[in-house]
Structure 1
Amino acid sequence: MPTPTGPPALVGKGLREAQGAASAAGYSVVSHDASDQDARQWDADEWTVCFQTSAGRRDGGRPVLDLGVVRVGAPCPAVDGEKPPWPRMPAVTGMTFARAGEALAPVGFRKVEPESAYSDVALPGVADPWKVCFQDPEPGETVEDPQYGTVYLKLAPPDAVCPERPYATLGP
């Protein structure tokens, strides 16, 4: 068993990698959900280390590191045990579909789904120049777990005005 010389820096690593590095450095590891959810870490591949503290020794043996972790893709809270600072949905109405996609990229959504704002107008193969009339989620909403979420954008052709409500008809 290696004699610990000092704990390895584990913040930012995946939990499985952190457990291996700690063990190789002579430490045991316990982990806890660093968010306000108190979820169990059944699959070490699904968690990222946000906080690291010393937790004494286990049964007089190896020193223990307590790792505060969040699910992969979640932001670390400012303080261990608080709600993660999830992003807010930006307002993309009025933008072209291409520009809306650029504005949404930093939020980390899994998918941005274009739909026609009109029930009688089909989307073209490439909707980049079409303008966003409606969006779901709404602007300003907190977006939890965006890596699993889909944004729905209802679009109008570049030469048409947005309807008053989704799925209106453009034609007479």
Structure 2
Amino acid sequence: MPQELDAVDARILDIVQHDAGLSVAEIADRVGLSSSPCWRRIKRMEEAGFITGRVTLLDNSSLGLNFEVMASVKLALPSRENLDAFEQMVQAWPEVIECMTVTGAVDYMIHIITTDMHAYDNFLRDNLLGSALVSDVQSRIVIRVAKRTTALPLDLVEDIKKPTSA
């Protein structure tokens, strides 16, 4: 880790990754700082790249986006050019909320959210199988989500300086 974080920084990161809508004053109060030093710490962590953005999380079911799929995608020829071309294509597909290059028998795992089975079938036929880059798609329909979080396990970060006891 190029820049050191201390226990207060870690606490700030933990707070904002769970609720980015809190004001600086509310965050400062929770970590025992005044607003100005807390704001400076947040700005420093943004500039260092520890904080990359702030978003509002939406409930897909409430919005009628009830059909979720994890799909493994194999390219016909996984050359550098084809990998780059596929990754560029994925950027234009709003249904794909995650795309990861993986090891093993397939090239990508993609997480897709859409309205229903018919919408997914259209997406599969028109976008994935409609591309000459793709040779195979294996779809896994999500039945139930047992856990979903965007929070990183900060307690696993060894380089965060722990407070010293006197």
Q: Does TM, normalized by the shorter one, top 0.5?
A: no
Which of the pair is proportionally richer in strand?
1
RCO higher in structure (CA 8 A, sep ≥6)? 2
Which of the pair is proportionally richer in helix?
2
Q: TM-score, normalised by structure 2?
A: 0.24
